[in-house]
Amino acid sequence: MPESAATFRRLYTTFGALIGLLVVTAAVSSLPSGWWSTPLSLLIATAKAALIFTIFMRLRDQPALVRIFALVGFFWLAIMLTLAAADYFTRFWPA
């Protein structure tokens, strides 16, 4: 099989997996929400992001420095979300 055909096959397979995860996300959102709803949605979102980063952005084939900078971006995102959550949870909400 030529290399371009294998690449297209991998891309279409990844696209199919992303569409499948989209269907699962829609199905989970239509179910009654419980304690498991948020962790399951975050797990699905993480799987989608991992597919996009490894296949479409080709991070697996990039040099180590590019992968490190991608991880550093997530580190700063985590800092931002932590500080935003700390601000939200420390506010006084009068009854």
User: Euclidean distance between the first and final Cα of the chain, in Å?
Assistant: 67
Give pLDDT tens digits along the chain (95 positions): 677 877 889 999 999 999 999 999 999 989 888 888 888 998 999 999 999 988 988 888 899 999 999 999 989 999 999 999 999 889 887 76
Query: Domain-by-domain residue ranges, the chain?
Result: 1-61, 63-95
Q: What is the rounded CA–CA span in Å between residue 76 and residue 56?
A: 22
Strand ranges in 1-95 using DSSP code E only, listed in sequence order: none
> Which pTM value belongs to this model?
0.72
